[in-house]
């Protein structure tokens, strides 16, 4: 009997549904080497304990992923045979060509006329703050936050709906140094929860380790909400953070940031249209550790690879990069398999808690990506998916934010009703 873990590894189970744990794990320092070193564990009593721990972790993380609000997401695949739709090839070519240049301004998850009109009809900063948070696709991984509880405070910081007082108190009690022993990822997620509840500082806090698109999206969001500085959200524009270092674009963004004027609420809701966004490399769907990005970063710095987003990149260069990333992802995923035992000196509770949070973030990540943090796809990789009939049309980054799966249907209905009422098309 077998199943899959959250990294895509095949996990063998015994007749009682328990994980069959091996007697070694890979030395993390060698997982990207030609020959990986194995660290063997001889303590049989310890390995017996590991069976229970590994089984609980496997079941818990799979349950988290299966309970995702997007569990019923249904892709719409391009048909390379063109039998179901003769226009699919033309549609695909237009999609593919997007990734051969910078994202076009105002075309990535664009604001529609109806959406802008509805947004401008919102009378208070709180309503607009709430709308922008919902639009971003960011949700909380550490505590359930109903959409109605977002920004549930007035201009003086007082609760509007007392029903959510306990929620606010729990989040506030878990901020700061409280979770320092749980790692930066957990700390960052509690800050995001605080940002959702109305404290903009929560979105300005720590980056979300291993989740480059989530980090980039919250940076765009914090500027939309009114906290802008010269570097804008492009300040950390280099590979390790998922973006491509472009000195010219960075200089342009810094110059624009000095000139842009906020609206009457001190906000910059359309900053994504003005400054544009960047293609983000994010592999959190496959791995939870940052060492893959570090390895790629090292090879880029050493001149062994060229970023495929670089204007100088040729098909051969992109294929070389694609080969390396596939190798790194496979090696890291294999080394993370949940049927490997921990070493006796590992902090098992820390590691398992981290994996649970990782699974939770995965489960709330919009299947079409965050609207202002579009995933970068190597064109030749898209070719492989298209030819195999496995490329989802709904991954097109030019789909407006309000027509994505992460956008609440009730709010979409309100926007469409408002547009119809006022004759907006």
| Residue 144 near residue 69, CB atoms below 8 Å | no
What is the reported pLDDT for 246?
83
Which pair of tokens denotes residue 55?
A: 């089984």
Phi, psi of 40 (to 5 degrees): -90, 150
Q: Which residues of the chain have pLDDT under 70?
A: 229-240
Residue 422 half-sphere exposure toward CB, CA atoms < 13 A: 14
DSSP letter assigned to residue 110: P
Distance between CA atoms of residues 133 and 278, nearest Å: 19
What is the reported pLDDT for 231?
56
Residue 138: strand, helix, or coil = coil
**Other Cβ atoms within 10 Å of 346 Cβ, number:** 12
Distance between CA atoms of residues 263 and 236, nearest Å: 26
What is the reported pLDDT for 15?
96
Q: Where are the domains of the chain?
A: 88-421
- Burial letters 293-316, b for 16+ CB under 10 A, else e: bebbbebbeeeebbbbbbeebeee
| Residue 391 near residue 77, CB atoms below 8 Å | yes
| Residue 399 near residue 374, CB atoms below 8 Å | no
The structure tokens 């893959």 sit at: 292
Q: Tell me the Ramachandran region of residue 237: left when phi exceeds 0, alpha when psi lies from -120 to 50, beta otherwise.
A: beta
Distance between CA atoms of residues 13 and 19, nearest Å: 5
What is the reported pLDDT for 240?
67
Phi, psi of 152 (to 5 degrees): -85, 45
Per-residue pLDDT tens for 44-103?
Answer: 999 999 999 999 999 999 999 999 999 999 999 999 999 888 899 999 999 999 999 999
What is the reported pLDDT for 237?
56
- Burial letters 133-166, b for 16+ CB under 10 A, else e: bbbbbbbbbbeebeeebbbbbeeeeebeeeebee
Distance between CA atoms of residues 173 and 226, nearest Å: 25
Distance between CA atoms of residues 295 and 283, nearest Å: 13
């Amino acid at each position: 009997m077998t199943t899959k873990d959250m990294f895509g590894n095949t996990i063998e189970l015994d007749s009682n549904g328990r994980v069959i744990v091996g007697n070694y794990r890979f030395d993390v320092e060698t997982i990207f080497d030609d020959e990986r070193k194995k660290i063997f564990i001889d303590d049989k009593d310890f390995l017996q304990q590991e069976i229970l721990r590994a089984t609980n972790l496997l079941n818990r993380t799979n349950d988290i992923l299966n309970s995702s609000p997007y569990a019923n997401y249904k892709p719409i695949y391009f048909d390379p045979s063109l039998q179901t739709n003769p226009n699919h090839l033309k549609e695909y070519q237009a999609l593919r060509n997007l990734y051969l240049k910078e994202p076009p301004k105002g075309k990535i998850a664009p604001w529609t006329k109806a959406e802008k009109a509805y947004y401008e009809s919102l009378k208070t900063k709180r309503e607009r703050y709430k709308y922008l948070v919902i639009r971003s696709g960011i949700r909380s991984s550490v505590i359930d936050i109903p959409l109605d509880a977002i920004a549930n405070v007035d201009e003086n910081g007082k609760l509007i709906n007392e029903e959510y007082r306990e929620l606010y108190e729990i989040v506030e009690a878990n901020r700061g140094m409280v979770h320092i022993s749980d790692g930066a990822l957990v700390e960052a997620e509690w800050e995001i929860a605080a940002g959702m509840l109305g404290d903009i500082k929560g979105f300005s806090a720590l980056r979300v380790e291993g989740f480059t698109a989530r980090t980039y999206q919250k940076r765009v969001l914090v500027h939309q909400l009114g906290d802008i500085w010269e570097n804008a959200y492009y300040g950390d524009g280099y590979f390790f953070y998922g973006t491509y270092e472009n000195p010219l674009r960075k200089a342009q963004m810094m110059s624009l940031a000095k000139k842009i004027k906020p609206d009457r609420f001190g906000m910059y809701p359309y900053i994504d249209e003005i400054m544009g966004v960047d293609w983000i490399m994010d592999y959190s769907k496959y791995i939870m550790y940052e060492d893959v990005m570090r390895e790629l970063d090292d090879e880029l710095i050493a001149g062994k690879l060229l970023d495929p987003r670089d204007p100088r990149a040729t098909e051969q260069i992109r294929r070389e990069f694609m080969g390396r990333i596939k190798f790194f992802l496979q090696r890291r995923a294999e080394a993370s398999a949940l049927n490997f035992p921990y070493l006796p000196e590992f902090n098992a509770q820390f590691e398992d808690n981290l994996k649970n949070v990782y699974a939770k973030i995965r489960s709330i990540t919009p299947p079409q990506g965050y609207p202002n943090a579009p995933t970068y796809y190597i064109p030749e990789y898209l070719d492989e998916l298209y030819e195999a009939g496995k490329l989802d049309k709904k991954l097109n980054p030019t789909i407006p934010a309000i027509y994505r799966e992460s956008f609440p249907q009730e709010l979409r209905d309100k926007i469409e009703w408002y547009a119809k009422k006022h004759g907006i098309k």
